[in-house]
Amino acid sequence: MYYCDLNQKEAESVLKREGITALLPIGAVEVHGNHLPLDTDCRLAQGVAEKVSHKLGDERCVILPCVPYGQVWSLGNVPGTINIPDDILTEYLFEIAKGLCRAGVKRLAVINAHVGNGNAIKNVARKAYGSLDMKIYYFTYPGASEVIEQVCETDRCHGVFFHADEIETSYMLYLAPDKVDMEKAVCRKVSFPKDYEYTPVRWDEFMDTAVLGDATKASAEKGKKIIDAVVENICEILKGEK
Protein backbone atom coordinates (compact mmCIF):
# COMPACT_ATOMS: atom_id res chain seq x y z
CA MET A 1 0.00 0.00 0.00
CA TYR A 2 1.49 3.31 -1.08
CA TYR A 3 0.95 6.40 1.08
CA CYS A 4 0.50 8.72 -1.88
CA ASP A 5 -2.22 6.52 -3.41
CA LEU A 6 -4.49 7.11 -0.41
CA ASN A 7 -7.26 9.66 -0.63
CA GLN A 8 -8.34 11.77 2.34
CA LYS A 9 -10.88 9.31 3.71
CA GLU A 10 -8.57 6.32 3.22
CA ALA A 11 -5.67 8.12 4.91
CA GLU A 12 -7.77 8.89 7.97
CA SER A 13 -8.79 5.26 8.25
CA VAL A 14 -5.59 3.44 7.25
CA LEU A 15 -3.11 5.49 9.29
CA LYS A 16 -5.07 4.91 12.49
CA ARG A 17 -5.40 1.20 11.85
CA GLU A 18 -4.05 -0.88 14.73
CA GLY A 19 -0.79 -2.60 13.84
CA ILE A 20 -0.04 -0.49 10.78
CA THR A 21 3.65 0.17 10.07
CA ALA A 22 4.77 3.14 8.02
CA LEU A 23 7.85 2.35 5.94
CA LEU A 24 10.01 5.36 5.08
CA PRO A 25 12.66 4.68 2.40
CA ILE A 26 15.58 7.11 2.43
CA GLY A 27 18.45 7.26 -0.01
CA ALA A 28 20.76 9.90 -1.43
CA VAL A 29 21.64 11.64 -4.64
CA GLU A 30 25.33 10.99 -5.25
CA VAL A 31 27.75 9.72 -7.85
CA HIS A 32 28.13 5.94 -8.20
CA GLY A 33 30.68 5.67 -10.99
CA ASN A 34 29.51 5.43 -14.58
CA HIS A 35 27.57 2.17 -14.42
CA LEU A 36 25.00 3.23 -11.81
CA PRO A 37 22.67 6.27 -11.65
CA LEU A 38 22.81 9.14 -9.17
CA ASP A 39 19.66 7.88 -7.42
CA THR A 40 21.00 4.38 -6.79
CA ASP A 41 20.41 4.57 -3.02
CA CYS A 42 16.85 5.76 -3.54
CA ARG A 43 16.03 2.85 -5.82
CA LEU A 44 17.54 0.40 -3.35
CA ALA A 45 15.69 1.83 -0.35
CA GLN A 46 12.43 1.76 -2.29
CA GLY A 47 13.02 -1.80 -3.45
CA VAL A 48 13.77 -3.08 0.04
CA ALA A 49 10.73 -1.28 1.48
CA GLU A 50 8.46 -2.88 -1.11
CA LYS A 51 9.80 -6.35 -0.36
CA VAL A 52 9.36 -5.79 3.38
CA SER A 53 5.78 -4.70 2.80
CA HIS A 54 5.00 -7.76 0.69
CA LYS A 55 6.51 -10.12 3.24
CA LEU A 56 4.82 -8.55 6.27
CA GLY A 57 1.54 -8.23 4.41
CA ASP A 58 0.70 -5.22 2.28
CA GLU A 59 -2.42 -4.54 4.31
CA ARG A 60 -0.22 -4.06 7.41
CA CYS A 61 2.19 -1.55 5.83
CA VAL A 62 2.06 1.79 4.11
CA ILE A 63 5.08 2.82 2.02
CA LEU A 64 5.86 6.52 2.15
CA PRO A 65 7.51 8.41 -0.71
CA CYS A 66 11.27 7.95 -0.64
CA VAL A 67 13.30 10.78 0.88
CA PRO A 68 15.69 11.29 -2.05
CA TYR A 69 18.37 13.47 -0.47
CA GLY A 70 20.84 12.44 2.23
CA GLN A 71 24.05 13.34 4.00
CA VAL A 72 26.84 12.83 1.47
CA TRP A 73 29.71 14.90 2.87
CA SER A 74 32.31 12.40 1.65
CA LEU A 75 31.44 12.93 -2.04
CA GLY A 76 29.83 16.33 -1.65
CA ASN A 77 32.33 18.12 -3.89
CA VAL A 78 31.82 15.82 -6.86
CA PRO A 79 29.43 17.11 -9.58
CA GLY A 80 26.18 15.16 -9.38
CA THR A 81 26.16 14.76 -5.61
CA ILE A 82 23.75 16.73 -3.42
CA ASN A 83 24.65 16.84 0.27
CA ILE A 84 22.20 17.61 3.09
CA PRO A 85 23.95 18.29 6.44
CA ASP A 86 23.04 16.09 9.40
CA ASP A 87 21.28 18.83 11.38
CA ILE A 88 18.98 19.77 8.50
CA LEU A 89 18.28 16.14 7.63
CA THR A 90 17.48 15.35 11.27
CA GLU A 91 14.91 18.14 11.53
CA TYR A 92 13.38 17.24 8.18
CA LEU A 93 12.92 13.59 9.11
CA PHE A 94 11.61 14.50 12.54
CA GLU A 95 8.87 16.61 10.98
CA ILE A 96 7.86 13.62 8.86
CA ALA A 97 7.64 11.51 12.01
CA LYS A 98 5.56 14.22 13.75
CA GLY A 99 3.15 14.39 10.83
CA LEU A 100 2.65 10.65 10.85
CA CYS A 101 2.21 10.64 14.60
CA ARG A 102 -0.50 13.30 14.39
CA ALA A 103 -2.27 11.13 11.83
CA GLY A 104 -2.30 8.20 14.23
CA VAL A 105 0.69 6.11 13.11
CA LYS A 106 2.26 4.33 16.06
CA ARG A 107 5.16 2.62 14.33
CA LEU A 108 7.65 3.94 11.79
CA ALA A 109 10.41 1.91 10.15
CA VAL A 110 13.08 3.88 8.30
CA ILE A 111 14.53 1.81 5.44
CA ASN A 112 17.91 3.40 4.78
CA ALA A 113 20.16 2.57 1.82
CA HIS A 114 22.88 5.15 2.44
CA VAL A 115 25.30 4.69 5.34
CA GLY A 116 25.90 8.44 5.60
CA ASN A 117 22.31 8.97 6.77
CA GLY A 118 22.85 6.88 9.88
CA ASN A 119 23.62 9.63 12.38
CA ALA A 120 20.67 11.80 11.38
CA ILE A 121 18.24 8.87 11.48
CA LYS A 122 19.42 7.79 14.92
CA ASN A 123 19.11 11.38 16.13
CA VAL A 124 15.51 11.45 14.95
CA ALA A 125 14.66 8.24 16.81
CA ARG A 126 16.28 9.58 19.98
CA LYS A 127 14.51 12.93 19.64
CA ALA A 128 11.18 11.17 19.17
CA TYR A 129 11.78 8.85 22.11
CA GLY A 130 9.55 10.08 24.90
CA SER A 131 8.26 13.05 22.90
CA LEU A 132 6.16 11.24 20.28
CA ASP A 133 3.67 8.45 20.79
CA MET A 134 5.50 6.40 18.20
CA LYS A 135 8.12 3.66 18.06
CA ILE A 136 10.80 4.27 15.45
CA TYR A 137 12.98 1.55 13.94
CA TYR A 138 15.91 2.20 11.61
CA PHE A 139 17.44 -0.34 9.25
CA THR A 140 20.51 -0.13 7.03
CA TYR A 141 20.81 -3.61 5.49
CA PRO A 142 20.69 -5.57 8.78
CA GLY A 143 22.37 -8.96 8.55
CA ALA A 144 23.94 -8.25 5.17
CA SER A 145 27.54 -8.70 6.31
CA GLU A 146 27.17 -12.41 7.03
CA VAL A 147 25.74 -13.16 3.59
CA ILE A 148 28.23 -10.87 1.85
CA GLU A 149 31.07 -12.95 3.29
CA GLN A 150 29.47 -16.07 1.82
CA VAL A 151 28.60 -14.89 -1.69
CA CYS A 152 30.98 -12.10 -2.69
CA GLU A 153 34.27 -12.90 -4.42
CA THR A 154 36.29 -9.77 -3.73
CA ASP A 155 37.68 -8.30 -0.53
CA ARG A 156 36.08 -5.08 0.65
CA CYS A 157 38.20 -1.92 0.55
CA HIS A 158 36.80 -0.89 3.93
CA GLY A 159 35.26 -2.83 6.78
CA VAL A 160 32.12 -0.70 6.91
CA PHE A 161 31.70 1.17 3.65
CA PHE A 162 30.61 -0.21 0.29
CA HIS A 163 29.92 1.91 -2.76
CA ALA A 164 29.16 1.05 -6.40
CA ASP A 165 31.19 -2.12 -5.90
CA GLU A 166 30.40 -5.82 -6.15
CA ILE A 167 27.96 -5.49 -3.26
CA GLU A 168 25.94 -2.43 -4.24
CA THR A 169 25.99 -3.23 -7.94
CA SER A 170 24.62 -6.69 -7.12
CA TYR A 171 21.83 -5.05 -5.13
CA MET A 172 20.95 -2.94 -8.15
CA LEU A 173 21.11 -5.88 -10.56
CA TYR A 174 18.49 -7.57 -8.38
CA LEU A 175 16.24 -4.60 -7.54
CA ALA A 176 16.67 -2.25 -10.53
CA PRO A 177 18.51 -4.13 -13.30
CA ASP A 178 17.34 -1.80 -16.06
CA LYS A 179 19.34 1.03 -14.46
CA VAL A 180 22.69 -0.80 -14.47
CA ASP A 181 25.17 -0.60 -17.36
CA MET A 182 27.60 -3.43 -16.70
CA GLU A 183 29.62 -2.53 -19.80
CA LYS A 184 30.79 0.53 -17.85
CA ALA A 185 31.47 -1.34 -14.61
CA VAL A 186 35.08 -1.08 -13.39
CA CYS A 187 37.38 -2.38 -10.69
CA ARG A 188 38.95 0.19 -8.36
CA LYS A 189 41.16 -1.09 -5.56
CA VAL A 190 41.01 1.89 -3.24
CA SER A 191 43.32 2.38 -0.27
CA PHE A 192 41.98 4.59 2.50
CA PRO A 193 44.44 7.03 4.08
CA LYS A 194 46.02 5.82 7.32
CA ASP A 195 44.45 8.66 9.29
CA TYR A 196 40.99 8.22 7.74
CA GLU A 197 39.41 6.94 10.97
CA TYR A 198 40.77 9.85 12.99
CA THR A 199 40.20 12.97 10.90
CA PRO A 200 37.73 14.09 8.20
CA VAL A 201 38.79 13.08 4.68
CA ARG A 202 36.62 13.46 1.59
CA TRP A 203 36.53 10.45 -0.71
CA ASP A 204 37.39 12.44 -3.82
CA GLU A 205 40.79 13.11 -2.23
CA PHE A 206 41.77 9.47 -2.77
CA MET A 207 39.26 8.20 -5.38
CA ASP A 208 39.22 9.21 -9.05
CA THR A 209 35.99 7.31 -9.76
CA ALA A 210 33.31 6.72 -7.13
CA VAL A 211 33.68 2.95 -7.16
CA LEU A 212 34.93 1.32 -3.98
CA GLY A 213 36.01 -2.11 -5.22
CA ASP A 214 35.26 -4.43 -8.11
CA ALA A 215 31.88 -3.78 -9.71
CA THR A 216 32.60 -6.24 -12.53
CA LYS A 217 32.04 -9.19 -10.17
CA ALA A 218 28.45 -8.19 -9.38
CA SER A 219 25.46 -10.35 -10.21
CA ALA A 220 21.71 -10.34 -9.63
CA GLU A 221 22.02 -13.74 -7.92
CA LYS A 222 24.38 -12.32 -5.30
CA GLY A 223 22.13 -9.33 -4.81
CA LYS A 224 19.08 -11.54 -4.32
CA LYS A 225 20.75 -13.67 -1.66
CA ILE A 226 21.87 -10.64 0.33
CA ILE A 227 18.73 -8.53 -0.03
CA ASP A 228 16.38 -11.42 0.70
CA ALA A 229 18.28 -12.09 3.93
CA VAL A 230 18.09 -8.39 4.82
CA VAL A 231 14.34 -8.34 4.23
CA GLU A 232 13.92 -11.46 6.35
CA ASN A 233 15.83 -9.84 9.21
CA ILE A 234 13.81 -6.64 9.04
CA CYS A 235 10.53 -8.53 9.04
CA GLU A 236 11.51 -10.73 11.96
CA ILE A 237 12.42 -7.65 14.01
CA LEU A 238 9.20 -5.85 13.12
CA LYS A 239 7.16 -8.94 13.93
CA GLY A 240 8.82 -9.07 17.34
CA GLU A 241 10.49 -12.43 16.77
CA LYS A 242 13.95 -11.04 17.59
Global pTM value: 0.95
Distances (CA, A) of 153 to 148, 159, 166, 200: 9, 15, 8, 30
C-alpha to C-alpha distance for 63 and 196, rounded to whole angstroms: 37
Give residue 126's pLDDT: 96
Q: How many CA atoms lie within 13 A of 155 on its CB side?
A: 5
pLDDT at residue 160, as a whole number = 87
What confidence score (pLDDT) does residue 242 get?
Answer: 41
Enclosing H/E stretch for 112: strand 107-112
- Number of Cβ atoms within 10 Å of the Cβ of 204: 16
219: three-class secondary structure by DSSP: coil
| Phi, psi torsion values for 24, nearest 5 degrees | -115, 100
> How much is the pLDDT for 58?
87
Q: What does the pLDDT read at residue 114?
A: 98
Helices of type H across the chain: 8-14, 40-56, 86-102, 118-128, 144-151, 166-175, 220-238
pLDDT above 70 covers a percentage of the chain that reads 99
Say what the pLDDT of residue 241 is. Answer: 47
Flag residues of the chain having pLDDT under 70.
241-242
